[in-house]
Amino acid sequence: MLNKTLHISTSPHLTKGLTTTQIMQNVVYALLPAVGYAVYAFGLDAFLLISSTTMAAMLTEHMLCKWSHKDSTVGDWSAVITGLLLGMTLPPSFPLWMAFLGGVIAIALGKYVFGGLGNNSFNPALVGRAVLQAAFPVAITTWSTSFIPHRFTEISSSVLALPFMKPTYDAVSGATPLSAFKFDGVVADSLDLAVGMVSGSAGETNALLILLGGIYLASRKMLNWRIPVAVIGTVYVFSATLHLINPEVYPSGSFMVFSGGLMLGAVFMATDMVASPLTSLGVVIYGILIGSLIVVIRIWGGLPEGAMYAILLANAVSPHIDKLTQNRVYGT
């Protein structure tokens, strides 16, 4: 006699699925090595900065859920990712009160007003960063020196600036590699850029660790590898072509790939599952668009860096890319 019951049902037949919490936890795990290296490079400043943005994002998410009489969604780890990514896009000497404000804006304006996780049209961390750049342009473009001897025993005076007071800076570097190229024509060594031996935001420290985090997520199918490959490949090919045309004016492809926030943006921000397209062709078009905009802004725009604006602009057209690249339904 058979002791098993045969269940007949229509597709899809799912045998195993990952929860949102599991995916978000793995994204945090993939990001932690780069975060750890940022703290190693910039010391207490980076630790306090990233802690402030993360705590602000978590607290804002919890309070907004409570005020709207919903269960708190802090436990899904999405707010943690937003806080970590926002902190990684800011200079380590950034005042903590500004960083905390950025974390609040990232969740409230970049995520909650759209309906919460799964409904946001733009990457929340970049929304917070864009508002901070508009509100505090001097603070967000003032860079501290990495690997200073007393970075684990002293805190920069600007970090502890009181709210609405003008911060004072110490141990300020001349410029980031992108700024040095943009305004002085100086090109940094690609190896130094890859391993983070330069000044810049916390997330510009070690491109190789960020890339390894992306490989880990892609291997677990928690990241669409086509997006970072399309972004990085487009930036390299576009830049290398310009470099071949006039090497005296345009930097090499490797410099453009490893400098600035390109790697962090391509791996952890452009791949936002909600704000990016769903079709295989769509994500490639999306990545090419981001990569092209980054090069255009860096070379011909007024700003030395273009990763943030490129991703936000691509987020805006993502639904249209999806609509134009939908597969034809069988039988129609």
DSSP states of 3-71 as a string? -SPPP--PSP--S----HHHHHHHHHHHHHHHHHHHHHHHTHHHHHHHHHHHHHHHHHHHHHHHHTT--
**Cβ partners under 8 Å of residue 25, min gap 6:** 77
SS3 136: coil
pLDDT of residue 174 exceeding 60, the answer is no
* pLDDT value at residue 170: 67
From 211, 141, 137, 136, select the one nearest 176 (Cα to Cα).
141
* pLDDT value at residue 300: 94
* pLDDT value at residue 1: 47
Q: Are 238 and 306 in contact (CB under 8 A)?
A: no
Q: What digits encode the pLDDT tens for the residues 227-249?
A: 999 999 999 999 999 999 999 99
Q: Using the Cα atoms of residue 112, residue 115, residue 116 and residue 119 in order, give the sign of their dihedral.
A: negative
* pLDDT value at residue 190: 72
Task: Tell me the pLDDT of the chain averaged across its residues.
Answer: 89
> For the ranges 103-112, 191-200, 216-225, which has the lowest average pLDDT?
191-200
- The fraction of the chain above a pLDDT of 90, given in percent, is 63
Mean pLDDT confidence for 286-297: 97
Cα dihedral 98, 103, 107, 110, rounded to 10, equals 60
Q: Are 89 and 129 in contact (CB under 8 A)?
A: yes
